[in-house]
Amino acid sequence: MKTLTVNSVITTLQLWDTAGQEYRSITEQYYRKADAILAVYDITDSLSFTAVRGWMDSVKQYEALFYECSAKTGRNMDELMIHLA
């Protein structure tokens, strides 16, 4: 859970971590009512990037935005969370 205030409105985001390789076992019923899906990969690991393509194929009928963020440095994470809220 991540709670933030955007434009004086308090919003709580519920974030699920699917641990990457589990994407095949997650069906549309889990994300069909979601407001957003984050497809995350490791830019230094080509297998990680390739694996995320399965997610992208699953949700390609939805509009998508691309945010390049860093879990290591925190770069663009606040911007992403504010956009989600």
Q: Can you give the pLDDT at residue 27?
A: 59
Q: Can you give the pLDDT at residue 20?
A: 56
Please give the tally of structural domains in the chain.
Answer: 1
Q: Can you give the pLDDT at residue 67?
A: 86
Domain that holds residue 14: 2-84
Q: For the whole model, what pTM was predicted? A: 0.68
Q: Could you report the average pLDDT of every consecutive run of 10 residues in the chain (85 residues)?
A: 92 79 59 78 85 74 81 90 89
Residue pair 52/60 in contact (Cβ under 8 Å)? The answer is no
> Please, what sign has the CA dihedral across residues 21, 30, 80, 61?
positive
Q: Can you give the pLDDT at residue 40?
A: 82
